Amino acid sequence: MMLMKNQIIKLLSVVTACAAIAACDADFENPVQGNAGNSGDADLSKFVTIGDSLTAGYADGALYKSGQEDSYPAILAQQFAKVGGDANFTQPLVSDDLGGLLAGVIQITDNRLVLNLTDPDSPSPEVVAGTPTTEVMSNLGGTYYSNLGVPGAKSFHLGAPGYDDGAGILAGTANPYFVRMASSSALTAGTTMITDAATQAPSFFVLWIGNNDVLSYASTGGIGVDQQGNPDPSTYGSDDITDPTAFAGVYAGLVGALTANPATQGVLVNIPDVSTIPYFTTVPYNAVPLDQATADYLNGLYAPYNGGVATALGAGSAETIKRTINFTAGQNAVIIEDEYLTDLSGGGLPSMRQATADDLLVLTAKTEIGLGGGTAYALGDNFVLIPEEKALVAAATSAFNANIKAAADANPNLILVDSSAIMQEISTTGIDYGTGAINATYATGGAFSLDGIHPTARGYAVVANRIIDAINDGFNASIPAVNPGDYSTIFVK
Amino acid sequence: MKIKILIIACMCLSGSVYAGGYRVALQGQKALGMGHTGVAMSDSSEVVFFNPGAMTALDNDFDISGGVTLIDSVIKYQNKTANVSAETDNPVGTPISFYIAQRHDEKLSYGIGIYTPYGNAVEWQKDWAGSHLVNNIELHAIYIQPTISYKLSDTYSLGFGPTLVSGSVEFNRNLSTSLIDDNGNRSNVTLKANNVTAIGYNIGLFIEPSEELSLGISYRSKVDLRARDESADFQNIPTSLQAVYPDTTFNADLVLPAELTIGVSYGLSKDLVLAADLNRTYWSAYENLDVQFNNGAGTSYNPRNYNNANILRLGAQYAMNDDLTIRAGIYFDHSPIGDGYYTPETARADSTGYTAGATYKISKRMELDFSLLLLEFEEFNGSYDYYDQGGTLISFGGDYKSSVTTLGFGLNYKY
């Protein structure tokens, strides 16, 4: 009996031992873990980024703290540090996640947007409640920040004196974000964005500038002026398109300042086609539902206009047809102002017509349409980007991008990242990032935040991965990518 | 000497219990030692499951056997594009089986079986990369099968048993790839259904053309578990969506597919028996795992579209002496999952199961059974392409590598 018991124990232990031997974990042939990566030929020891809101990490209509923490420069710096790069990357973090700015005690910019889904059929972005605590008039202390992303900055602002002077905020010659973060303080002389960048003597930089040189014109429906032919930015209004010649000069100066040390390496990012972003693609030109009675009523209102136009321009002429307003039962195109039409204001006829698929209504037009804009009265110029305006934007963008590409081509230490192609991909096929996908659909697509212009943290992560890809290709490196799925998208109230 | 051979056998085998999908093939310790063959075996009351027709062919008038199996399983996931990896922390599963076979007279035997042929216990880290598909799932289905077997002739014997099935499931996943509440917590839903009952049957024909040769065929019917008005608990919902996603009830159907097995066993000598089974599992019945919520969430469509799949099982048993019998087996399990339908809750590629087992006779009437299974899944690059996010189908994929080890113990009492 003892013997038998021993045998059983032995048998049990053998079986258990066999199980233990066999139960070795399943492992991948090529595990992603343990692939540490390396920086290749890239010198990432001092990393500086300079640009506008996209570089700052702006999203949902504001610059808020967690957005900054997920900015593409922050993501890049985090991944660079994994391959021995700059571990001291700094950002001028705002004080809270509301994102609004105070100048004195006055709130000068709105808090971030959240999406209210109480009525699922009509999701509406709204400004999140709360009193912000970020005071722009108290400078962060005269230090140099690695991330010099300044919301609102245009190309020529990077070298503009006074851009750090709080006294110029109201006049528009200074930028509150830069006033707060500039290395200058009350005690020191003024500085510029590019000086703050170059003074840090980066070994590696990212320059992404020029978006606002076209975007501020486009996002205000083209109320500004195309300044092509006027090389003096000091004469521009805030919503104008920058002259390509002026841009070329400014851009060469920026790249020159950043590469004063010829060993400096960097990434130049070009400018997306603004017409691909949800700010311009969400509100349809023809989505005003009318019943027959309302259509008849409106047609009655516009009959004198139609008659006047026909008289002035000739019945059946191309422009008369274009300007003839006609509502029907069902979905209708909105009426918009069009300053490119023949000026008949002398006869009391405004320059207006019904929109077509070629007109891009801006995101903020939705509220205006709800108030009667486009039916009871024409939507103002600031709510729509018409084909003539789109062409100006496209021409300037293309000129700027040719310039950026030439700058990258001219210096073997610089590479180009084609953000225009990335945004095009997001807005057409979407981008599958491996564990999910984003596209440019407003609110649900995951790529764009609630302002319809700036990416979500997830969108920024996709951009960061593309920049990492380009650096890996261009500098023989293998910097690890991030999982965009780990980054947030929009915020629902 | 015996032990040395066992060790060698184990070492050689380091390298069937789970089958594709959520079938858990661990229904008998003796059978498992032989690659989970058994439709043409008649060596214990395990036949109640494997082939009810074989009950009349048991040597003893009364045979009771029971066992428990410990399952240690892991699924690893990685995606090179997103530079992300994850692995499950699955609880140890402990499926049981229990069978009684009683001879009534020369022609008729009756018995009962309790077993758990379907189940799943997968636990990913909460909010991992695929959390919109599954965070964790635990599925159990207990079958209770009263059975009779009748000897049609000296050669043919037929057995039949209705199965009363009770299923329970708990399933949690995030509502989307991104939705969070005010505190940044991911919005998710937990589905819970307990004791969903359904009826099926198990029928088998056992053929003994000669002393050495046995043939068997068995068919276990499909069972449809229909969960109705079970609990759906929505958590971490943003304020403005709380009216749309209150806690509610849900309806869902889960199919436990039918299985046809044919097999043969052959006594090569007095001590050595070889067995081979071919299973066909009718997984094509598993078309979807649609969940209809009774709130604003509507219906969640989750197509699965599995394919019917075969498993080839081979096993041998050798009586070392009067007290000790050892077993070994291997099986080849073909995954029922088609391209684009590879989900992380049942991430199972083609696999090979290596099994070993032993029976030690404690006394004339009592036997102690052991089994060991190593189930190696092929490394597989797969994706699930049918997740609907705001009207756009988005894909979740990557490399998967799974393995399962089980260790089973059983007792068999007979007289």
Per-residue pLDDT of B349-405, as tens digits, reads 999 999 999 999 999 999 999 999 999 999 999 999 999 987 889 999 999 999 999
- Is residue A5 predicted with pLDDT exceeding 80? no
Of A19, A446, A483, the CB nearest to B405: A19
Q: Is A87 domain-assigned?
A: yes
pLDDT of residue A17: 61
Tell me if A32 and B85 make a contact (CB, 8 A cut-off). yes
Q: Which two tokens stand for residue B259?
A: 């299985």
Tell me if B405 and A116 make a contact (CB, 8 A cut-off). no
pLDDT of residue B15: 28
A256: amino acid identity, one letter: G
Instruction: Output b/e per residue, B358-391; b: 16+ Cβ within 10 A.
Output: bbbbbeeeebbbbbbbbbbbebbebbbebbebee
More reliable by pLDDT, A9 or A397: A397
Tell me if B7 and A437 make a contact (CB, 8 A cut-off). no
Q: Is A33 domain-assigned?
A: no
3-state secondary structure of A226: strand
Query: B165: distance to nearest CA of chain A, Å?
Result: 31
Give the C-alpha separation, A435 to B124, whole Å.
15
- Is residue A219 predicted with pLDDT exceeding 70? yes
- CATH number of A169's domain: 3.40.50.1110
In this prediction, residue A398 has a pLDDT band, given cuts at 50, 70 and 90, of very high
Chain B residues in contact with A17 (beta carbon < 8 A): 7, 10
Of A432, A439, A493, the CB nearest to B240: A493
Backbone phi, psi, residue A382, to 5°: -70, -5
Q: CA-based Rg of chain A, rounded to a whole angstrom?
A: 28
**Residues A131/A133/A138/A144 CA torsion (nearest 10 deg):** -140
Range in A1-15, B36-50, B152-166 with the lowest mean pLDDT: A1-15
Examine the domain organization and report whether A308 and A346 are in the same domain.
Answer: yes
**8 Å CB contact between B378 and B349:** yes
Examine the domain organization and report whether A218 and A331 are in the same domain.
Answer: no
Report the DSSP beta bridge partners of residue B204.
B159, B218
Q: Is A302 domain-assigned?
A: yes
Q: Which two tokens stand for residue A77?
A: 């710096």
**8 Å CB contact between A427 and A440:** yes
Is B360 an 8 Å CB contact of chain A? yes
In this prediction, residue A142 has a pLDDT band, given cuts at 50, 70 and 90, of confident
What is the residue whose two structure tokens read 């080890």? B405
Structural domains in chain A (count)? 2
Q: Is A30 domain-assigned?
A: no
Kindly list the distances between the CA atom of residue A487 and the CA atoms of A269, A490, B99, in Å, as whole numbers in the listed order: 22, 10, 52
Q: Say which residues have a Cβ less than 8 Å from residue A122's Cβ, sequence separation at least 6.
A: none
**8 Å CB contact between A138 and A94:** no
Of B130, B356, B407, the CB nearest to A435: B130
Q: Which two tokens stand for residue A131?
A: 């009193």
Q: Is A214 domain-assigned?
A: yes
Q: Which two tokens stand for residue A124?
A: 């509406």
Examine the domain organization and report whether A272 and A244 are in the same domain.
Answer: yes
Backbone phi, psi, residue A29, to 5°: -65, -45
Examine the domain organization and report whether A275 and A313 are in the same domain.
Answer: no
In this prediction, residue B1 has a pLDDT band, given cuts at 50, 70 and 90, of very low
Tell me if B372 and A120 make a contact (CB, 8 A cut-off). no
Of B82, B360, B395, the CB nearest to A484: B82
- Is residue A2 predicted with pLDDT exceeding 50? no
Examine the domain organization and report whether A301 and A274 are in the same domain.
Answer: no
Tell me if B83 and A483 make a contact (CB, 8 A cut-off). yes
Q: At what angle do helices B2-13 and A2-22 cross, to 10 degrees?
A: 10
Kindly list the distances between the CA atom of residue B30 and the CA atoms of A22, A203, A331, A334, in Å, as whole numbers in the listed order: 20, 69, 72, 78
3-state secondary structure of B329: strand
Of B80, B238, B390, the CB nearest to A492: B238
Query: What mean pLDDT is reported for chain B?
Result: 92
pLDDT of residue B14: 31
Q: Which two tokens stand for residue A479?
A: 């910097």
Q: Say which residues have a Cβ less than 8 Å from residue B151's Cβ, sequence separation at least 6.
A: B56, B106, B107, B108, B157
- Is residue A3 predicted with pLDDT exceeding 60? no
- Is residue A185 predicted with pLDDT exceeding 90? no
Give the C-alpha separation, A361 to A385, whole Å.
6
Examine the domain organization and report whether A270 and A305 are in the same domain.
Answer: no
- For residue B311, the surrounding DSSP H or E stretch is strand B309-319
Range in A67-71, A217-221, B21-25 with the lowest mean pLDDT: B21-25
Nearest residue in B to A29, CA atom? B379
- Is residue B8 predicted with pLDDT exceeding 50? no
Tell me if A435 and B83 make a contact (CB, 8 A cut-off). no
Tell me if B78 and A31 make a contact (CB, 8 A cut-off). yes
Q: How large a percentage of chain A has pLDDT more than 70?
A: 94
Query: B254: distance to nearest CA of chain A, Å?
Result: 26
Q: Which two tokens stand for residue A356?
A: 């077509």
Examine the domain organization and report whether A326 and A405 are in the same domain.
Answer: no
**8 Å CB contact between B141 and B196:** no
Domain interval for residue A443:
47-280+388-486
Longest dimension (CA), chain A: 119
The structure's pTM equals 0.91
- Is residue B9 predicted with pLDDT exceeding 90? no
pLDDT of residue A68: 98
Domain boundary among A325, A344, A362: A362
Q: CA-based Rg of chain B, rounded to a whole angstrom?
A: 23
Give the C-alpha separation, B176 to B124, whole Å.
16
- Is residue A187 predicted with pLDDT exceeding 70? no
In this prediction, residue A138 has a pLDDT band, given cuts at 50, 70 and 90, of confident
First to last CA, chain A: 73
Give the C-alpha separation, A102 to A82, whole Å.
37
Examine the domain organization and report whether A210 and A159 are in the same domain.
Answer: yes
- Is residue B12 predicted with pLDDT exceeding 80? no
Tens of pLDDT along A337-380? Answer: 999 999 999 999 999 999 999 999 999 999 999 999 999 999 99
Examine the domain organization and report whether A264 and A303 are in the same domain.
Answer: no
Query: B181: distance to nearest CA of chain A, Å?
Result: 7
pLDDT of residue A120: 76
Tell me if B7 and A18 make a contact (CB, 8 A cut-off). yes
Examine the domain organization and report whether A252 and A339 are in the same domain.
Answer: no
pLDDT of residue A388: 96
Query: What mean pLDDT is reported for chain A?
Result: 93
Tell me if A444 and B390 make a contact (CB, 8 A cut-off). yes
Is B401 an 8 Å CB contact of chain A? yes
DSSP B30-81: HHHHTTT--TT--SSTTHHHH-GGGGGG-SSSEEEEEEEEEEEEEEEEEETT
Categorise residue B399: left if φ over 0, alpha if ψ from -120 to 50, beta otherwise. Answer: beta
- Pairing between strand A414-417 and A265-269? parallel
pLDDT of residue B4: 44
In this prediction, residue A10 has a pLDDT band, given cuts at 50, 70 and 90, of low
Of B79, B372, B391, the CB nearest to A435: B79
Tens of pLDDT along B212-251? Answer: 999 999 999 999 999 999 999 999 999 999 998 999 999 9
Q: Is A370 domain-assigned?
A: no
Of A17, A32, A491, the CB nearest to B83: A32
DSSP-derived secondary structure letter, A364: T
Chain B residues in contact with A23 (beta carbon < 8 A): 72, 374, 405
Query: B93: distance to nearest CA of chain A, Å?
Result: 15
**8 Å CB contact between A148 and A134:** no
Give the C-alpha separation, A471 to A466, whole Å.
9
Domain ranges of chain B: 2-414
| B 39-68 near A (Cβ less than 8 A) | none
Q: Is A35 domain-assigned?
A: no
Q: Say which residues have a Cβ less than 8 Å from residue A470's Cβ, sequence separation at least 6.
A: A267, A415, A416, A417
Q: At what angle do helices A244-258 and A387-410 cross, to 10 degrees?
A: 30
Backbone phi, psi, residue A387, to 5°: -55, -40
pLDDT of residue A14: 60
Chain A residues in contact with B397 (beta carbon < 8 A): 434-435
Tens of pLDDT along A160-176? Answer: 999 999 889 888 899 99
Q: How large a percentage of chain A has pLDDT more than 90?
A: 85
How far does CA A474 lie from the centroid of its chain? 25
Q: Is A166 domain-assigned?
A: yes
- For residue A294, the surrounding DSSP H or E stretch is helix A292-313
How far does CA A394 lie from the centroid of its chain? 17
DSSP-derived secondary structure letter, B341: B
Q: What angle do CA A51, A53, A58 make, to 5 degrees?
A: 140
Q: How large a percentage of chain B has pLDDT more than 90?
A: 88
In this prediction, residue B23 has a pLDDT band, given cuts at 50, 70 and 90, of confident
Tell me if A18 and B10 make a contact (CB, 8 A cut-off). yes
DSSP-derived secondary structure letter, A208: E
- Is residue A482 predicted with pLDDT exceeding 90? yes
pLDDT of residue A119: 84
Examine the domain organization and report whether A139 and A240 are in the same domain.
Answer: yes
What is the residue whose two structure tokens read 């359904």? B198
- For residue A218, the surrounding DSSP H or E stretch is helix A211-219
Give the C-alpha separation, A127 to A124, whole Å.
10
Tell me if B84 and A491 make a contact (CB, 8 A cut-off). no
Tens of pLDDT along B318-352? Answer: 999 999 999 999 999 999 999 999 999 887 899 99
> Where are any strands of DSSP class E within A83-149?
101-103, 106-109, 113-116, 124-127, 134-135, 147-149
Q: Which two tokens stand for residue A23?
A: 């139960």
Closest CA to B57 of B115, B90, B114, B106: B106
| B 290-329 near A (Cβ less than 8 A) | 296
Tell me if A22 and B15 make a contact (CB, 8 A cut-off). yes
pLDDT of residue A436: 93
pLDDT of residue A27: 85
CATH 3.30.9.10 fits B2-414, yes or no: no
Of A11, A19, A26, the CB nearest to B407: A19
Tell me if B3 and A14 make a contact (CB, 8 A cut-off). yes
Chain A residues in contact with B132 (beta carbon < 8 A): 436
Q: How large a percentage of chain B has pLDDT more than 70?
A: 95
Tell me if B72 and A435 make a contact (CB, 8 A cut-off). no
Query: A366: distance to nearest CA of chain B, Å?
Result: 21
